[in-house]
Structure 1
Amino acid sequence: MVSGVPLRQILQAKSSQISERMYELNLVRVIKGTAVTLVAMALTSCNSAPKDGAEAQTRPRGAERNQAIAVDVAIAATAPLETVREYTGTTQPVREVAIRAQAEGQLQQLNVDVGDRVKQGQVLAQIDDAILSAQTAEAQAELASRRTEIVQLEAQVSDAKTQVAQNRYQLQQAQSDAARYASLAKSGAVSKQQAEQFRTQANTAAQVLQSAQAKVRAQQQAIIVARSRIAAQQAVVAQQQRRRGYAVVAAPISGAVLTRSTERGNLVQVGNELLRLGDFSQAKVNVQVSELDLAKVRLNGTANIKLDAFPKEQFRGTVTRISPAANPTSRLIPVEITIPNPTGKVGSGLLARATFTQTTLDRVVIPLSALQDDRANTKSPQPNPNSSQRAPTPSTPRTNGTLFVITRQGEQTKVTPRTVTLGQQIDGKVQILSGLNPGERFVSRASRPLKDGQPVRLSILSAK
């Protein structure tokens, strides 16, 4: 303790006095620095004002107008101007065939699997043909029996014809005897009773001949019926042989196996699907085309196809089918495109992107930004309430415009305005129908509005 006051209180009082003194010193220092800065700024502004005024007085009028303006220059070139829509589809084989069983039986062999390449006529599967073989043998035996029957009928006809010949001879003899006895009876050499007996014998011989001829005709008709039965049985034999041939399943086309629906040892019924083949000599792509692009699509026309599986290749296809009916809801028209596939590398189910090309007359195409906006430099006329005509809206397509072409006078590059006729306008580009020829250089963009004869300097982005 010092004079009855604790030492701790004395130290706290001294510390507070020191802190207040340091705060006052820092505040004075900040005020002095701010004052010095304000004085320096005032002196600088005073010194620069007369200089700027002098430069303004000495700068010649029109220097700004003659100063070269930086511009981007492009070279006019012809190009197509059309909106290209891309349609997606999936690749498929040009033909797809389902191989179905045409005979019933156990599947003894199935020689191919999914992905295998097959040739037309190659044996793919074998069905047990034991029952079919027995049925074929039975049909052939029946055919042989009917052929034996017709041989017998033909022999009977031959015998009947021989009998007819004998009966005809007997008739002639009886008629001759009857005529002779009739003549003798008239002369009284023989009795009338004897002449009548010979006439009766001649009539009986005629009836016997007619009966023999009828028998021949009946037997000939039996032969015709027997021959028709033989023809029918021959058809049965041919059908059985064909059914037996169905036991061997061969490839109807060349292609690749897409699916395999059964396995060896299964019992198959008529109509069961065994395999599915795809012909990949060509590939087809089915797309749904908007009615807005229907005018670009024509039968046997060309289409560009890109496959994600082969990003570095582009395929040219042919439009082989255009559906006559559009979807009533989406207004899309199914279109089939066929692309060549000689190596068979284009498989089924690949994502395809199709675009349709149309032969159009290429014209000079420039960006719309290159046109001088004449409407911005002209005052819009005040509408006349008494006039029946309406002022054109800003959305009305322009038919004429002005752009600046590059000219050279001495060592200085200048620009000259050119009036051009405008065509179609799509995606910020416009066709030039007349007024600008291919190869001419024009200003595509300028840093400031241009005037006739304005000196310009080409930017580094300008075309050379």
Structure 2
Amino acid sequence: MCFDYCCKVLWSIQKQASNLERREEMKWKTIKVMHTGLLFAALLTIGVRVETAQSADSDIVQEVGVPATPVTITAAESRNLEVWEESVGQLEPKVAPLIAAEVSGRLTVVNVDVGAHIEQGQLLAEIDVGDFILARDMVQADIDRSQALIHAQQLKVKRYRALVKKKSASESTLDDAEAQLGALRAELTSAKVRLQQAQRDISKTRVTSPIDGRVDDTQVSKGDYVKVGSPLMRIGNLRWLKARLPYPETLLPKLNAGLPVRLTSPSAPDVIVETTVSEVRPSVTFGSRSAQVIVNVKNPGQWEPGSTVTGAVRVAVHENAILLPEVSVVRRPAGTVVYVINEDIVVQRVVTTGLRREGQVEILSGLKAGERVAADGAGFLTDGALITVKSQ
């Protein structure tokens, strides 16, 4: 009996505890549902307020309007566009003879050194003349001997002619005497030619300058033995220079003699020489694959052979080209565009560009001369944008 009673009490206690747990669980579920509802309601309220605010802002923007972009205006200009191609080359003497020995011998005098300024006919060096004087004297002796033999033979021929008239000598004897006289006269002529050669050799022992100029290089010194053709020194003429300008082979079809050219040199940076192309070498150099443009120019006074020279050759002229400042031409997804002024708004227009020179852009298509476009500020514009014109 006692056991049954205890079981009933225990079962009653467990049942009450179970009921309490179910009530707690229901209570928490109710609280979660209430929280979820409140959160949803709050989100709906915020969304309505944001939409209302955006609508209000839109109304304000529509009432106030987008601010205009300040720009400067320029007009498309039509003029001839000169196309100049630049190159950096070197100045050389137009005339630079290599002085060489014309006779063999030992140098007894060398009067000049590198850098010396000389005049035409000035003595540069001397070769020992002793042997050449001896050779001249020997030829002169041969001439004297030939003249004496000729005189004697002339007397002999004269006697033979008298004997032939008297029939005391044969005609063949006279013919032999006259032939011998002719041979002696030929020997005399040969000796006189050799005398001229000996005198010429003596004069060639004195090496003189063929031009006015400057000694650019010497290859000998006093005491050297030189042979015929041995180089002695090189002289450059400073009055006339030659500018050698290399250009890419792709420009060869556009280059020809007579084109205008401008030359400047760092040796005299303030001097600009305007002249024409003298010649274009038709061959392309193997190493650099460049064509050579030669310009012969009179030295303005300060230029030095060997100095760097910058040359610009006018290879073409684009007549009536449409030009705009570079700032007016901008890149957009549609391509290269300009903004044409239409009262207080701009109209985007796609253009085709060509050469760019000194801050100017050539417009090949899409724009006519005289049309007004935006300049400064064009990079901030879009099609249809409002603008205000500011003073430049």
Superposition TM-score, scaled by structure 1 size: 0.62
After superposition, where does 1:242-281 map in structure 2 within 5 Å?
A: 242-281=200-239
> Is the Cα contact below 8 Å between 1:70 and 1:447 reproduced in 2?
no
Q: In the superposition, relative to structure 1, how do residues 146 and 126 fare at CA in structure 2: closer, same or farther (>3 Å)?
A: same
Mapped partners of 1:359, 1:81: distance in 2: 6
Choose which of 262, 277, 284 in structure 2 pairs with 1:319: 277
Choose which of 340, 360, 363 in structure 2 pairs with 1:404: 340
> Is the Cα contact below 8 Å between 1:424 and 1:430 reproduced in 2?
yes
- Per-residue deviation, 1:139: 0.6
Report whether the alignment pairs 1:436 with 2:376. no
- Per-residue deviation, 1:436: 2.5
After superposition, where does 1:413-428 map in structure 2 within 5 Å?
A: 414=344, 422=352, 424-425=354-355
SS of 2:284's partner is: coil
Mapped partners of 1:57, 1:443: distance in 2: 31
Superposition TM-score, scaled by structure 2 size: 0.72
Larger gyration radius, structure 1 or structure 2: 1
Q: In the superposition, relative to structure 1, how do residues 101 and 132 fare at CA in structure 2: closer, same or farther (>3 Å)?
A: same
Report whether the alignment pairs 1:448 with 2:384. no
**Which residue of structure 1 lines up, in the alignment, with residue 41 of structure 2?**
none
Report whether the alignment pairs 1:457 with 2:392. no
- Per-residue deviation, 1:359: 4.0
Mapped partners of 1:425, 1:321: distance in 2: 27
Choose which of 286, 307, 314 in structure 1 pairs with 2:265: 307
**Which residue of structure 2 lines up, in the alignment, with residue 163 of structure 1?**
163
> Is the Cα contact below 8 Å between 2:76 and 2:369 reproduced in 1?
yes
> Is the Cα contact below 8 Å between 1:309 and 1:350 reproduced in 2?
yes
**Which residue of structure 1 lines up, in the alignment, with residue 132 of structure 2?**
132
Render the CA deviation track for 1:102-146: whole Å, top value 9, x for unaligned. Answer: 233343322222212111111122222122111111111101211
- Per-residue deviation, 1:98: 1.9
Instruction: Give the superposed CA RMSD.
Output: 3.6
Paired amino acid for 2:368 = L
Which is worse superposed, 100-109 or 111-120?
100-109
Which is worse superposed, 429-438 or 70-79?
429-438
Paired amino acid for 2:198 = Q
> Is the Cα contact below 8 Å between 1:69 and 1:455 reproduced in 2?
yes
Mapped partners of 1:93, 1:137: distance in 2: 43
After superposition, where does 1:103-118 map in structure 2 within 5 Å?
A: 103-118=103-118
- Per-residue deviation, 1:255: 0.8
**Which residue of structure 2 lines up, in the alignment, with residue 70 of structure 1?**
70
**Which residue of structure 2 lines up, in the alignment, with residue 80 of structure 1?**
81
SS of 1:325's partner is: strand
Mapped partners of 2:306, 2:338: distance in 1: 52
SS of 2:184's partner is: helix
After superposition, where does 1:190-229 map in structure 2 within 5 Å?
A: 212-229=170-187
Q: Which protein has the bigger strand share?
A: 2
Mapped partners of 2:92, 2:330: distance in 1: 52
**Which residue of structure 1 lines up, in the alignment, with residue 94 of structure 2?**
94
> Is the Cα contact below 8 Å between 1:255 and 1:280 reproduced in 2?
yes
> Is the Cα contact below 8 Å between 1:307 and 1:353 reproduced in 2?
yes
Paired amino acid for 1:249 = V
Mapped partners of 2:214, 2:138: distance in 1: 39
Percent sequence identity over matched residues?
Answer: 19
Q: In the superposition, relative to structure 1, how do residues 322 and 270 fare at CA in structure 2: closer, same or farther (>3 Å)?
A: same
Mapped partners of 2:54, 2:266: distance in 1: 66
Choose which of 279, 294, 297 in structure 2 pairs with 1:336: 294
Which is worse superposed, 70-79 or 238-247?
70-79
Paired amino acid for 1:424 = G
**Which residue of structure 2 lines up, in the alignment, with residue 122 of structure 1?**
122
Aligned residues: 336
- Per-residue deviation, 1:51: 10
- Per-residue deviation, 1:305: 2.5
> Is the Cα contact below 8 Å between 1:317 and 1:340 reproduced in 2?
no
Mapped partners of 2:225, 2:330: distance in 1: 82
Structure 2: 5+ residue runs without aligned partners?
1-50
- Per-residue deviation, 1:341: 0.6
SS of 1:358's partner is: strand
Q: In the superposition, relative to structure 1, how do residues 217 and 274 fare at CA in structure 2: closer, same or farther (>3 Å)?
A: same
Structure 1: 5+ residue runs without aligned partners?
1-48, 168-207, 377-393, 408-412
> Is the Cα contact below 8 Å between 2:219 and 2:231 reproduced in 1?
yes
- Per-residue deviation, 1:52: 9.3
**Which residue of structure 2 lines up, in the alignment, with residue 185 of structure 1?**
none
Report whether the alignment pairs 1:360 with 2:317. yes
- Per-residue deviation, 1:54: 6.5
**Which residue of structure 2 lines up, in the alignment, with residue 348 of structure 1?**
305
Mapped partners of 2:286, 2:184: distance in 1: 63
After superposition, where does 1:359-378 map in structure 2 within 5 Å?
A: 359-362=316-319, 363-366=321-324, 370=328, 376=334
Paired amino acid for 2:381 = R
**Which residue of structure 1 lines up, in the alignment, with residue 26 of structure 2?**
none
